[in-house]
Every structure is written in C-alpha cells, then in structure tokens.
Structure 1
Amino acid sequence: MEKVKMIVNHPMAKCIVMGVIGSVLLFESHPMYAGMAFGYGLRELFLAFKNS
C-alpha cells in the first residue's frame, strides 16, 4: 500500500494526469481551463526534477 501511495503522489504521475485532463479540456473547447491544467502539470514536472 505504501508503494502505491508513493507512485500516486509522485509529481510525475500528477504531471501525466494533468496533461491528459488538459488535453481533454482542450478537445472540449475550454482553452482557459486547459491552460490552467497544463500550467499545474508543468509545475509538477519542475518539482519532479527539483534537487532538494
């Protein structure tokens, strides 16, 4: 169970999910909400590669 929590809470998993959600929103003609989703996904991508 801990391994599943670790995978789900990893920033790369969030980045992929937000990319998919942003793509669906863009496909449904909601560019503002898609941009917000892509922005959050980009933030998570940067956090995944942060050296700390």
Structure 2
Amino acid sequence: MFRHHLETTVDDKKELQEVTWKRINSLDKLKNVVKVRVDHVGRIVSVGEY
C-alpha cells in the first residue's frame, strides 16, 4: 500500500480510498508510472528521472 507520507493514522476508511491511499495488488498497475519531483508548495518541478 502506498500512503501519503504525512498521514498520521493507518485507518483504511473506504471513502478515502484512491484519495489518500491506493492498494496495488499486481505490478501491471505500476507499468506506466512516472517519477515526479514536487517543491515545498506541491507544484511539480520536474518529470521523469532527475
């Protein structure tokens, strides 16, 4: 499971699924993942390898 790094609890609330956490059961869902770098405000600074 991938969660936000500032999340303080590990409750699996159904209404927050796909918003604050994602469940990945197979590597096929990670096939087209792109690495991004964000600044302290949350803006995307660069896309791809850096």
Give the TM-score band, short-chain normalised: under 0.3
> Which gives a bigger RCO, structure 1 or 2 (Cα 8 Å, sep 6+)?
1
Q: Which has the higher strand share?
A: 2
Give TM-score scaled by structure 2 length. Answer: 0.25
Q: Which has the higher helix share?
A: 1
- Tell which structure's C-alpha radius of gyration is larger: 2
